[in-house]
C-alpha cells in the first residue's frame, strides 16, 4: 500500500478531519505560486523607517540631522544597492549643503566604488534631487578620479 493510499484510507474513516481541513486549514493557504520578495524585504525595518524619517528631515532643510540619519540608514542598505545608491545621493547632497567637501568627495567615491551610478540614474529619486546631485557630481568630477 502506497503512502497516498494509506492516507486516503485513513481519511475515509475520519470525515471530521476532512471537515477540519476544508474549514480551517485550506482557506488560509494560498494556492498561488510564491512570489519573490521585493529587495527591501531583506532590509531591517529599522533602517527603512530611519531612511524615510531622514528624507522628511532633509526636506525640512535640517541637513545635519538628515546627514547623520542617512549615514545610519546606509549602513543597513549595504546588501541592497538600489537603496544604498539613494542613501549616498542624499548623503552627498546633505554634505554639500553643510559645506563638508571632504564628505561630498567621500560619498562620490563610494558611489563609484560600489558602481551605483546607473542605479541612481534609474532610481525613483525626486528629479530635483537628481539634478542637484548631478551638478554636485560634475563640480567634483576631478575629486572622484583622484
Q: Over 60: is that where the pLDDT of 7 sits?
A: no
| pTM for the model | 0.71
Q: Which of 72, 129, 140, 132 is nearest to 100 (CA)?
A: 140
**CA separation for the pair 127, 47 (Å, rounded):** 23
Fold of the CATH domain 44-145: 1.25.40
Summarised one tens digit per residue, pLDDT across range 70-98 is 999 999 999 999 999 999 999 999 999 99
Write down the domain spans for the chain.
1-28, 44-145
Predicted confidence band of residue 141 (pLDDT cuts 50, 70, 90): confident
**CA separation for the pair 83, 48 (Å, rounded):** 9
Summarised one tens digit per residue, pLDDT across range 15-64 is 554 444 444 444 454 444 444 444 446 899 999 999 999 999 999 999 99
DSSP alpha helix (H) spans, 21-100: 45-59, 63-76, 81-97
Output phi, psi for 73, to 5 deg: -65, -40
Contact between 35 and 13 (Cβ < 8 Å): no
**CA separation for the pair 11, 138 (Å, rounded):** 72
Amino acid at each position: 500500500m502506497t503512502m497516498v493510499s494509506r492516507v486516503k484510507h485513513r481519511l475515509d474513516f475520519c470525515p471530521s478531519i476532512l471537515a477540519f481541513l476544508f474549514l480551517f486549514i485550506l482557506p488560509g493557504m494560498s494556492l498561488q505560486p510564491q512570489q519573490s520578495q521585493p529587495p527591501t524585504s531583506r532590509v531591517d525595518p529599522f533602517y527603512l523607517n530611519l531612511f524615510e524619517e531622514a528624507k522628511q528631515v532633509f526636506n525640512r532643510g535640517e541637513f545635519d540631522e538628515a546627514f547623520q540619519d542617512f549615514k545610519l540608514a546606509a549602513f543597513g542598505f549595504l546588501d541592497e544597492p538600489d537603496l544604498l545608491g539613494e542613501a549616498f545621493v542624499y548623503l552627498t547632497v546633505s554634505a554639500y549643503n553643510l559645506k563638508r567637501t571632504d564628505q561630498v568627495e567621500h560619498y562620490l567615491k563610494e558611489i563609484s566604488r560600489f558602481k551605483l551610478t546607473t542605479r541612481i540614474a534609474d532610481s525613483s529619486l525626486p528629479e530635483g534631487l537628481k539634478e542637484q546631485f548631478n551638478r554636485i557630481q560634475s563640480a567634483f568630477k576631478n575629486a572622484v578620479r583622484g
